[in-house]
Amino acid sequence: MPERAPDAVVIGAGPNGLAAAIRVAQTGRSVIVLEAEETIGGGTRSANLTLPGFIHDVCSAVHPLAVGSFFFRTLPLARYGLEFIHPEIPLAHPLDGTAVELTRSVEETSAGLGADASAYLRVMRPLVRNADFLMRQFFAPLRLTPAMAVRAPLLARFGLMAIRSAVGLGNAIFKEAPTRALLAGLAAHSIQPLKNLSTGGYGLMLGVTAHAYGWPVARGGSQKIADALVGELQSLGGRVLTGRRVGSMADLPPARAYLFDVTPRHGHRGRRASAELSESAQPVSIRAWRLQAGLGA
């Protein structure tokens, strides 16, 4: 008897693809994840790259957005061996002969910033107090909600700062080089020149996550995050198939829906697949897409 077609196929077994597959499976629908590589994880892979017994994270190593994710918090990932380790000091920026530290406490961090202490408190304290709300907006599509209306002043203030470049924002609100360096180090995770607009927002959000949630690592390597997600997916009846590179629609099994957890650039390289989709389903600007900022600590 032929195998029944799944309700959904997810292409890409990174944390986003696996999370999407879990959400589909939670509704009682069948789902398969196809991964081009022989190992799952995307940016959360670990491997033995040097001496025996030493595990190295291939891409991301520190995961404030994992512990800040509301969806991840609903999943029993500890059941599958996932444990986050929090350092006493989430991060430090080395300088000539000294360093500037960011601790979990906004007040303790500001106390080490000299003349910028009050400015740091003024900027970060309201953001950290509203970290859960801000993270919900960060992870969600842009839409107006009653909660946003209530916090309109906070969002307006944050938006006016976040749209600025890291260089412009740092020069505008801080007086001393160490504090500006701290913001610059955070903003560098945008993988853009720090004079670009919105890089200040990356610095602010990563600073907020460090204070509110910490900057933890996964015990045993970042691969443990992907492994735990797969464990939960399999418990719901989902499956993951590795070594299944998708170059055209012919490479996909029949399904009611397809979810592509790939970048637009990768999707564009696989134009044979997109060319076989209906014209209405194709992004009209795919040819003009330029790879923009991404968060991967």
| Alpha carbons 73 and 75: distance in angstroms, whole number | 6
**Is there a contact between 230 and 40 (Cβ–Cβ < 8 Å)?**
yes
Single-letter amino acid code for the residue at 294: G
**Is there a contact between 11 and 214 (Cβ–Cβ < 8 Å)?**
no
Q: Give the per-residue pLDDT at 139.
A: 85
Which fold would CATH assign to domain 8-84+218-288?
A: FAD/NAD(P)-binding domain (3.50.50)
pLDDT per position as a tens digit, 137-162:
888 888 888 888 999 999 999 999 99
pLDDT per position as a tens digit, 101-139:
999 999 999 999 999 999 999 999 999 999 999 999 888
Instruction: Report domain extents, the chain.
Output: 8-84+218-288, 96-212
Residue 291 has pLDDT above 70, yes or no: no
Q: What is the pTM of this model?
A: 0.87
Model confidence at 7, pLDDT cuts 50, 70, 90, reads very high
CA-based nearest residue to 209, from 122, 93, 127:
127
Q: Give the per-residue pLDDT at 116.
A: 98
pLDDT per position as a tens digit, 166-208:
999 999 999 999 999 999 999 999 999 999 999 999 999 999 9
**Is there a contact between 35 and 13 (Cβ–Cβ < 8 Å)?**
yes
Average model confidence (pLDDT) across the chain: 90
